[in-house]
Chains A and B, each alone.
Chain A
Amino acid sequence: MNLDSKIPQGPLAQKWDNYKANQKLVNPANKRNLDIIVIGTGLAGASAAASFGEMGFKVKNFTIQDSPRRAHSIAAQGGINAAKNYPNDGDSVHRLFYDTVKGGDYRAREANVYRLASVSNDIIDQCVAQGVPFAREYGGLLDNRSFGGAQVSRTFYAKGQTGQQLLIGAYQSLMRQVNAGTVEMHTRTEIVDYVIVDGKARGVIARDLVTGEFSRHFGHAVVMATGGYGNTFFLSTNAMGSNGSAAIKAYEKGAAFANPCYAQIHPTCIPVHGEFQSKLTLMSESLRNDGRIWVPKKKEDAEAIRAGKKKATDLSEDERDYYLERRYPAFGNLVPRDVASRAAKERCDAGFGVGTTGLAVYLDFKSSIERLGEDAIRERYGNLFQMYEKIVDDNPYKEPMMIYPAIHYTMGGIWVDYELQTTVPGLFAAGEANFSDHGANRLGASALMQGLADGYFVLPYTIQNYLADDIGTPRMTGEEKEFVEAEKEAKAKFEKLLAIKGERSVDSLHKELGLVMWDFVGMARNKKGLEEAIEKIAAIKKEFWSNVKIPGSDKGMNVELEKASRLADFITTGDLMARDALNREESCGGHFREEFQTEEGEALRQDDKFAYAACWEYQGEDKAPVMHKEDLTFEVVKVAQRNYK
């Protein structure tokens, strides 16, 4: 397996400029004859498809939703980072780069992260030009706020709806290209396989979710931007339809899957309340700007609160343990997500948790409301407070919010080189779907940055470098044997699922998988548990393929059939995550192995053994995958134990 990262020559700060200076280009007349398939319409997919269309390529864009505007990027609340240094607080491209590598616990590729930081400012300019209504100061200039893992304010935001506004900006640019005829949009259409011709990605097999019909689509290159695989856990902050199938299909066609065990557990989500629950709702990290996290200092108080005999507001200041401020005085409530999540788990496991289940901590706005007034807090977080109140039926202006960590984002994903190309030539991966920029932990407000960086400012360059060699390749018709064969295989899989006619609903099996993942491959992992998880996942796989129950047929819309096909891939993902977590005998970022921690319970890396990206190669159905290493070398960053004290 070729894992050449293709990092350009030169000092770190000049690598991207060097790349652009030397890359191959495609002239306008040739662009019209080149087709690009883009899977997904989130921030990465929509921005890439729109940009390709503007450049003059012929684009086919696919989404499973009824409109490209529904992609789950829309749910990102808090903001987007950029190194503008508008607040004059000492920020720079270098600092954003450094914070991101450090925040990722030194498990990301330096060159990619530096490029991300260096295009971050262009993203803000682009979005403003599109009419994204970022928050502004009274002077008319853009406002910033702080996010975890940084000591500067570099986060641009649009109320608590930043993802929505950025996605709508990209979506509108995309629809402009649809109108111009450069982008052909396929809604309610799922990609069920890739077509590989002579070792290169040359197309996809799609399934129309309304009619159930299959179709073949050719592209000189294929970009997959379908997000992460957090829904492997069933309960996560991802949307119900978010799935990792396009990634798993790529993996099964030869794309390496890197660092699958790096999953981010977000510290501030509304706690689980019952077994019928369908998803977990995130409360933006931005709330940690003004909210203070605490649990009772005394166990008796925690017990009384759990029993409903006491309320949070009954406890005086000195009866409260603001444990993040206590443990991490320098960063306080704004420590990175992995640190905040583990600290919440530690307190709850020790018996100080609140809520009826004991699996919750308080996020309290009392002192901010006293300091700034209720109106200022409403202005900043009004929609988040309203969302909380609708779900929980409590008024967070009066009572502190209750929160608990939940699966939110996956840093791992399809391995890509500096050009965002996978190990399958011609297949590119962008946004959360790739493994590229966040190492073992992503900092808040960096997902939006990465999705848009990949789509607006990286792929438009790198894909040309690839396509320049393809200007003489004629379009294929879809009748070639590789297309026919791929469609036949995909159809067979759906027929196989329908033929099982077992006893168990898709959801019941997915929940079972989710519980195994949460218990053994969740916030704290250990060797024994991971070995057990691999066995349990294999058993779920067997149960699924022999006993799943899917009513209806493959004609017309069949939601259960869609879910079943995605669950088959989540099972593969779950197995990969457990294997990767078992292999990685260290703790780093979102991956915490109980055997590897400092005396204070912090993550303990093993740099001498694990300073690499673990890249898994598919070996065939029911065969264990093989792991290859991409060694990480750090030229600029000084690798150290992360310290947020």
Chain B
Amino acid sequence: MKLFEHYELYTPYALLLLLLMPILAIWLYRHRYNERAKFLYSDVKSFGGFKTLKNKMIPILASLLLLALTLTAIGIARPRSVDVTAKTKKTKGIDIMLAVDVSASMLARDLKPNRLEALKKTAINFIKKRPNDRFGVVLYAGEAFTQVPITSDQRIVMQAIRKINFRQLFNQLEQGTAIGMGLATAVNRLKDSKAKSKVIILMTDGVNNTGEIDPYTALELAKEFGIKVYTIGLGTNGYAPTPVAVNPDGSFVYRNAKVEIDENLLKKIASETGGKYFRATDNSKLNKIYKEIDKLEKTEIKETKYYNYKELYRPFVLIAIGLIFIVGLLRYTWMKSFV
């Protein structure tokens, strides 16, 4: 059906006329002798019943006529090719920077299977839903780096998120939670963006305890560049199994620790930049949060589709007219009857 993908019929009901063709064919066959004046002759046998070329042409002419009518019916159905030069005006989306905390506490198991994995999954779903936006990823712990600069290639972004490997990062990065650094790095990436709306989704599960830039300075920066910051606090209320030490073999020792989130800071960042603060205590909550952000950052998609129609009835009708002309011409010249 690939062939017909770009073709359509404007009045497909006209094809119902094709149902009449067999009836017409039968009618033509039944009345084949009535078309011409009949010559009542005393002894038809004596002509020997030869089938000359003209005799053979009679059914051919009839079929040509039927073919012409078929083509006409198709012509009436108005076939046309559709060339959708769609999405010519791709809506400019917004730029979203995901700032993800990858400190050791993100392995806490209050979200399933742990905070980081839950986050990764939700973030990917979120990206999938917003095909017109550009995304970037900033990871931070004791220090921050840009995993993916802002890009419209969402596949790369999703892949990068999927590939976040805590253990690798654990070895590379300084320990701690430098919210300020994370935010500042994200801001840095967004500052040159020309998008209508610039958004940072800042996720953390702790308190700013290290870093060269303190969160308030980062906040000022964000405000400076007109960046909206949504903040998400991850972690249940109370206690959660959190890695507290590393075994000699590299595995973590889990102990219930009190969940500490600097909610005041996050709320402040959110409110001052025009964003919102959310608290995700479990997986479903986290999902909801992303859905809400999705709603809040609704970009109006103005998609203008240009349909370029090319009417194709012409060849059908022209061939039909040609056929009828040929049939008529033969009928009244070469195959004429003087009776």
Q: Say whether A and B bind each other.
A: no
Partner-A contacts on B (CB < 8 A): none
Partner-B contacts on A (CB < 8 A): none
